Amino acid sequence: MRTKHAVRDDEPQANGLSGADDPARLRARAERRFVLHCSRCHREIAKSDADAAGWQQLPLGSVDARPHCPACATELQAAVATCNSCGTKIAAHAAVEFGWRSWPDASGGEELLCAACGAGRAIRT
């Protein structure tokens, strides 16, 4: 027969929950899972409201895209995108429509390639 830990009168009763099962901790973890933070200004929004509010995943077409609020997305997309390989320029907001993609470069950063250069890159890798 196993004996339980003796509890003094002034010691709170253990509810048998480990730190991983703590309801407050589980709720906080779930809330973090359902909240987006703008990668630029750190504004928060519920993931369920992000599409309706105009949030976008940038850089456009990238596998490692990060969420951006509408204001930051507009500022970032107002810029001109330049292909890192051939130097072609295009309005950043139109880049995805024309097949531009972000690719990891040798230093671990991102390089933006137009559709033609990106197609050649896809074949090489």
Whether 53 is covered by a domain: the verdict is yes
How many independent structural domains does the chain possess?
1
What integer is the mean pLDDT of 64-92?
A: 83
pLDDT, tens only, 20-74: 677 888 776 666 667 888 988 989 888 878 888 888 887 766 667 788 888 888 8
Look at residue 22 in the predicted model and tell me its pLDDT: 79
Whether 91 is covered by a domain: the verdict is yes
Whether 96 is covered by a domain: the verdict is yes
Look at residue 119 in the predicted model and tell me its pLDDT: 83
Whether 25 is covered by a domain: the verdict is no
Average pLDDT, the chain: 75
Whether 97 is covered by a domain: the verdict is yes
Whether 12 is covered by a domain: the verdict is no
pTM of the predicted model over 0.75 = no
Which residue segment(s) compose the domain that 100 sits in? 37-124
- What are φ and ψ of residue 64, in 5° steps? -100, 35
How far is residue 43's CA from residue 13's CA, in Å, rounded to a whole number?
41
Higher pLDDT, 8 or 66: 66
Whether 98 is covered by a domain: the verdict is yes
How far is residue 96's CA from residue 119's CA, in Å, rounded to a whole number?
14
